[in-house]
Amino acid sequence: MTQPSRQAFVPFVSVDHMMRLVLQVGIETLMVELADAIEADFRRWPEFDKTPRVASHSDIGVIELMPTSDGQQYGFKYVNGHPGNMRRGLQTVTAFGVLADVATGYPVMISEMTILTALRTAATSAMAAKWLAPKDARVMAMIGNGAQSEFQALAMKAVCGIEEVRLYDIDPAATRKCAANLAGRGLRVTSCKAPEEATMGAQIITTCTADKQYATILTDNMVGGGVHINAVGGDCPGKTELHRDILMRSGIFVEYPPQTRIEGEIQQLDPDHPVIELWQVIAGEAPGRTGLSQVTLFDSVGFAIEDFSALRHIHRRLQDTGLFQELDMIADPDDPRDLFGMICRAEAANAA
């Protein structure tokens, strides 16, 4: 039977390949690179197609598609969020992504994105903190010590120079896990018994919890002046982490308002409550932090452009590594009009 042409093969980055690439590059180095790649794409934000993610909600979770294009390449991510999966020994979030060429419509890479989403989420958090947090920030409180926590801590260290992370989770086992994973990675790690203890003395507070509910992880009295809050966990309708009073006294920065007003912390506020789009700060079109005592809030829900940036960066990084598998997934007949003929030739070859 006729062998597929090289054009028919699509690079596939498996979980094993992604882990090997992360280790080859270095996890902190890769997150700095991802933060730079995301920031570069935020600077050209108007070039992208933008739409809120397409979400299918159920009582137990959500399945989403996150598409975007810059006119040259197209990317999308499939991702779920099922908090109850942990009780079944499964990941709360899993994902895969596709990068394609706009000129032909052909996919140019398929990749796992469970690990890559954790990397790009942390890189985006650190990129935002670089622009919004106090310049002398050296201590971060990490409220919620699940699958994202170590990535967040190391990204803040690599991009923003954080030296200490203070950990708290309602599950002490999660805190022990996080502390053990961060041991020997250049951070002072303090395990705390209460969220108030974790936030004491922190210039950056990151919240990343999993429960799909209106929750109050941070109360107003836990947030002093001059703090930057990185709210990661509130990322779908009916799921929040911050008391409304915190929002009312914060400068709020978002990715894409039509999506964040549905999914983020600001779903608690009036639809016309003022927010600033983070890309405008990066592009010099809007101010970021305006004073030493200002509370800044990055209401992070995750947006498709960040996934696009991550996919493009991994695609570039793959060159000459061999860390991918070639998938035969595009039908490539000798005559583009004769797709059925491919089957006929395969039939004849099998009968021979």
Catalytic residues, which ones?
A: 235
Helix, coil or strand: residue 283: coil
Q: What is the DSSP letter of 286?
A: S
117: nearest Cα among 133, 101, 96? 96
Reported residue count of the chain is: 352
Determine contact, residues 118/106, Cβ cutoff 8 Å.
no
Backbone angles phi, psi at 7, to 5 degrees: -65, -20
9: nearest Cα among 350, 248, 327, 347? 327
Separation of alpha carbons 327 and 303, rounded Å = 28
Separation of alpha carbons 149 and 202, rounded Å = 16
Assigned token pair, 228: 């930057």
Helix, coil or strand: residue 180: helix
Backbone angles phi, psi at 238, to 5 degrees: 80, 10
Helix 149-160, helix 172-182: angle, nearest 10? 40
Determine contact, residues 299/254, Cβ cutoff 8 Å.
yes
Determine contact, residues 8/316, Cβ cutoff 8 Å.
no
Residues 6+ apart with CB under 8 A from 293: 225, 226
Helix, coil or strand: residue 246: helix
Helix, coil or strand: residue 63: strand
Which amino acid is located at 70 in the chain? Answer: D
